[in-house]
Chains A and B, each alone.
Chain A
Amino acid sequence: MSRALQHPSADQIGAIKAFVFFLCMLPAAQLILGWRADSLGANPVETITHATGAWTLRLLLITLAVTPLRRYTGLHWLVRLRRMLGLFAFAYGMAHFGIYLWLDHFFDWQAIANDILKRPYITVGFAALMLMVPLALTSNAAAIKRMGGRRWQALHRSVYAIAVFGVLHYWWLVKADILQPLIYSAVLAVLLGLRAWWRELERRRQLAAPPPVAPSLKGKVIRIVPK
């Protein structure tokens, strides 16, 4: 692989980020323009609700794909796109929820509370979105510094639960044809399965590794000589 691809310059990273930002804005632009041109079909509210929900899930899965992609391609700079991807997932999730509050329920808080408490698919969808809030709020360098890397990372592992809840939300709302949620579930299963597999590999590696210090060397000064 070329050096430029492995190690892009700061300018190139900036350009890649701008391009990914542009790509992430496209679905939103398409919906806004489609709404204005009345080209979103017979039920535009439904079209927007479904599209924003689908993009939330897709962006969540893309965000979760960053680490495996980085690991298998060696393109370590990919991690620098992850925050933006995650924040876009949150933004589409909020738009999805906003449309539901406004154009589905017209801010009838009683009905909304009923929905969230009584209907499992709404309960898990709402839970997923609420779990995304702390992640969005701590998606900045200051928060990492304030919290410390370990605690920050522990908090951000909740993205796994968020993705599971998000896919469940979709699965539980479809009427009879589960093909689409099945596809999202399969992708999520691969992404989560890889992490489980890595943990297992790491466990085996630690078991197989020799003890860090041989008993015969205990207490002696060891000089480390470069090869």
Chain B
Amino acid sequence: MTDNDLRTLLRDAADEVSVPRLATDELHLRVRAVRRRRRARWAAGAAALAIAGALGTYALSGTLGGDEPHIAAAEGDPRGWAVAEGGSVHFGDGSVVTYGGTVNDLRYTSVGLLARSTQSNARLSLITTAGVQPLDLGDVSDRLIGTDPDSPYVSWTVEGGDGWLVRVIDLVTGEKVADVPISGKYTWAGWKTPPVAVDGEHAYVALDDRTLDVEWRAGKVSTAKGLPGSYTTEVLNGRAVTQDATGETQRVVEVATGQVLLTTRSTEFPDDLIRLKLSPDGTHALAAPYSTCDEHDNCRYDTPTAPIHDLGQGTETAVELGDHIGWAPGGQLIRASGTKVEICDQVGKECADTPVTLKKRADTISGTMNQS
């Protein structure tokens, strides 16, 4: 049987599936519910933007003068952030590096951006403003790797014994610094081996019934208190995003203790779909909507604004999303809209243009884990 046979058989099998009548009454009820939520959200967002706009104007006139850049921290960032358009990686300082392929994602490490291409996920490359360094770390295809914006360590799992090894590589030397054996049941995700998140000297490995906290330097393995099983997430500065069994509620938690810092409910959003995305220092969380793509692969967020939560202050601010929005390693926001890329403060109020000029629009923004 070839793939064409499979295609035919699958279509034939699907054609045999009995399709019930569309319950239009139920659909109308759901449409009305979506519209109600949408209206409520727009009203709240407009009010927040109006308040934030007034405060932003005051801040700009009161604290910044002349041609001074609005965001001093955006200059001379040694670790750099970037947006990718096709095979070109545009750093925030205006330098452009050509990558050998189309960039799929750019993950932060303390020594550069760790990249994989859209064409192959087997090999990693390290990208800095100085250029691209292909890494010879073996085949990492179809593994969810863990990176840490504040360290040079990258981790993934490999088969080993009756379970797996949590492998940690130091990108400074290219050397393996740990192979910690773990065991358990892993069936929940489609990756070849269990997915990993890295935060300093901790690696978090998501199994079916629990997430393991692997202190890789010490070789100690325990169960992470704040993370469930069958769910993978980034861990940033000891914090992570989790979601409940229904998927409607997402939380930011302290991984070590399970303490909840923020709770959001997707039903409060127009499409019932959001992803909380933590800033690299774990102090802020962006509740980003999903993006949808047209037939030309031009993708847009489903809403023009989204809330950013300050986890320390407990406040919420609406930010305009542009085409892509993400976090820079220093905690600022990167916003790409068409050919323009801006760098903004942590709540997206004070923004400054950057030297980055794109041809059409960004495909990818650094710090995005683009491996569903």
Q: Tell whether A and B belong to one assembly.
A: no
Interface residues, chain B, with chain A CB atoms under 8 Å away: none
